[in-house]
Structure 1
Amino acid sequence: MKLIGIEEHFLTAEIRDAWRAIGLDATDPSVAFHSGAIERRLLDLSQDRLALMDETGLDVQVLSLTTPALHDLGPESIDLAKRTNDALAEAVARHPSRFQAMATLPASIPDEAALELERCVRTLGFKGTVLCEKWASAISMTRPSCPFFKAHRHCAPQ
């Protein structure tokens, strides 16, 4: 039996820098928490992470972007999500028996989030996405007409 970590976080330097550029490191405690050794672990998607997985007996990690994700970044989050997902797909391709991925989405732009989820699942082979409570505060995701949930029903694995 494999031991699988289902919500293993990562971070990219580009996202970290975007958070800092809008001052989230001063206003969001979760951003301030991502420093030092924790930041180094979040940024690593290769040998150090694999060594720690081996040391702790974890066979597979299902990777998702750490909080606060892209929720506070606005329109720039569209391209940032695509670049992040492409980088994550490369990490999975390098270590397919060790890593799986959940899509990073531009949460405040539901039409774009829907398109990116579809691309990630159908083209990049991602398993889905992770939603957190900030999604509900960013947009009204409870409406049946929400583009994100329409896309989710059509492309995400059930």
Structure 2
Amino acid sequence: MGSALAVALLAGCATPPKPQAAPGEQAWSGRLALTVQGEQPFSAGFELKGAPEQGELTLLTPLGGTAGVARWAPGSATLRTDKGTREFGSLDELATQVAGAPIPIAALFDWLQGRATQVPGWNVDVSQVPQGRLRAQRTSPPADLRLAFEH
């Protein structure tokens, strides 16, 4: 899928319904686009809830169907797709397998709250978080993560 098509799909995605969070739990929904050098660009709707220690990330197709659900807790992570369920030892391992390179999902919780938590090799711009926009870029291998979201 070319970048223009990925951007078109991203722009055309309807914002998914706001995920329901348990008391004391954070939740966001919106659209994301990820480009990793050497990998196919990826875009999807998303619902993220929980915390870095335990949570759930649901990726949605442009038509609102579920493309996959990642769940994690201390010491384990699972990914459920239409191809089955895969087990991982950690959220970082799951994110690396899915995206083709390490993605700091744990830091994403801080970033979505407007805190520019430093992650080695990543530069994050949280200046537009109040407007529901976030961008993070990795230097090596190059990656660009963009989110448009509601809290």
Greater C-alpha radius of gyration: 1
TM-score (normalised: structure 2): 0.30
Question: Larger % of helix: which?
Answer: 1
Question: Larger % of strand: which?
Answer: 2
TM-score (normalised: structure 1): 0.29
